[in-house]
Amino acid sequence: MKDKQFLMIPGPTPVPETALLAMAKHPMGHRSAEFSDVLKEVFEDLKWVFQTEENVFLYTSSGTGAMEAAIYNLVNPGDKVLSLVIGNFGERWAKISKMRGADVEMISADWGKAIDPAVLKQRLDQDVNKEIKFVTLTHNETSTGVTNDLKTLNEIIQEHGAISIVDGVTSVGAIQLKMDEWKVDVVVSGSQKGFMIPPGLAFLACSKKAWKAYENCKCPSFYFNFGAYKKSAAEFTTPYTPNISLIMALGETMKMMKAEGLENMFDRHARLAAGLRTAVRRMGLKLFVEDDSIASNAITSILPPDGITVPQIRKTLSKDFDIVVANGQAQLENKIFRMGHLGFVSERDLITAIGSLEMALTKLGYEVPKGEATTAAIKTMLKA
């Protein structure tokens, strides 16, 4: 049906009406006192979500822009970077670092697995001369649906002394990430995920330890420059014309996030993910990530049943049920489909999605006991 489309991809996510309507307003001047008031509040709220006392820089870019910001403001050509790779987005850190001219080493886990802390510890223990200056990693790997144990991995990095650079694009606001308490050095995120607004803004927070690397950085980025953004943040403004419309929308969703509270947000994401995993198993389908202790609370990767293809499932869900789910990426294309459940998503949406998936599979010839998966999910969500 027209205008009925519901996105269950890992971003963009559904957007609340108040945020959409904020975007439909004429932009105000970005150098006005009125807009500075908005920024002042948004800057404070971002610190709250990032659980940090540091400034959170607000970039007009995609999440990848904030990833570039991290590397191009901290890493000098020739610096040694260790990239922990468990999927497509972990690889992106390595690619950006290579383009910057860094000496990149990778520790990779099979797609669908998390980084083993023992493997990281072993490698960093070997680095007695402290050649490794930076470790990049992904908190929640969107391409597979795996969440790394960031707290433990970061402890190992901090013991070694390297600077940790973390992709929190699909975790901040959805999955627990205590930046200051865990002593994470750099966290980046994007607007179209836990923040519940459309794509076009990215965020970056940087520890005092990482700031020293910025001060030693040769030819850093101008557009993403840490120093320029820090100076502007103190004046409740941005160095260059920002995306005013998205910031107004962010002001609205931040109010919603504060009303819900961080712990409640994390609990909601955990509850929805648990419900979906229960339902998938009840339908007799296989989860790509079978170990619940590393399965993402933001996105779930599912294997199609024998005889039915990923494109068939995506097409039926889209055409007959107005639900958009994502295909696998790279080597997982057509091997899995991925259902996003982050940001502006509630129990009601999960029930909708599970019921629709039951019906879609039945239409495609895979017999599912009707309603049982939905029932199982409801029970799980009530208990969780």
Among 55, 207, 243, 316, binds its own copies (CB under 8 A): 243
DSSP H or E segment with residue 19 = helix 17-23
Task: With both helix axes pointing from N to C terminus, report the angle between 347-363 and 310-321 in degrees, rounded to the nearest 10.
Answer: 120
Shortest distance in whole angstroms from residue 151 CB to its own copies = 28
Cα 163 from Cα 245, distance rounded (Å)? 34
Among 68, 79, 141, 185, binds its own copies (CB under 8 A): 68
Among 112, 242, 251, 275, binds its own copies (CB under 8 A): 242
| 223 near its own copies, judged by CB under 8 A | yes
Cα 197 from Cα 13, distance rounded (Å)? 7
Which is nearer to its own copies, 329 or 375 (by Cβ)?
A: 329
Cα 161 from Cα 72, distance rounded (Å)? 20
**∠ at Cα 79 (78, 82), nearest 5°?**
125
| 335 near its own copies, judged by CB under 8 A | no
Instruction: List, in sequence order, every beta strand (DSSP E) within 235-358.
Output: 286-287, 299-303, 323-327, 337-340
Which is nearer to its own copies, 47 or 80 (by Cβ)?
A: 80
Shortest distance in whole angstroms from residue 30 CB to its own copies = 7
Cα 72 from Cα 75, distance rounded (Å)? 6
Residues in 283-302 at the binding interface with its own copies, rule: CB under 8 A:
none
| 333 near its own copies, judged by CB under 8 A | no
Residues 13-52, mask of contacts with its own copies (x by CB under 8 A): -xx----xx-xxxxxxxxxx--------------------
Among 37, 44, 48, 95, binds its own copies (CB under 8 A): 95
DSSP per-residue letters across 117-179 = HHHHHHHHHH-TT--EEEEEEESEETTTTEE--HHHHHHHHHHHTPEEEEE-TTTTTTS---T
Which is nearer to its own copies, 50 or 89 (by Cβ)?
A: 89
Cα 346 from Cα 330, distance rounded (Å)? 30
Q: Which residues bind its own copies (CB under 8 A)?
A: 5, 7, 9, 11-12, 14-15, 20-21, 23-32, 60-65, 67-68, 71-72, 77, 95-96, 99-101, 190, 192, 198-200, 218-223, 225, 239-246, 324, 326
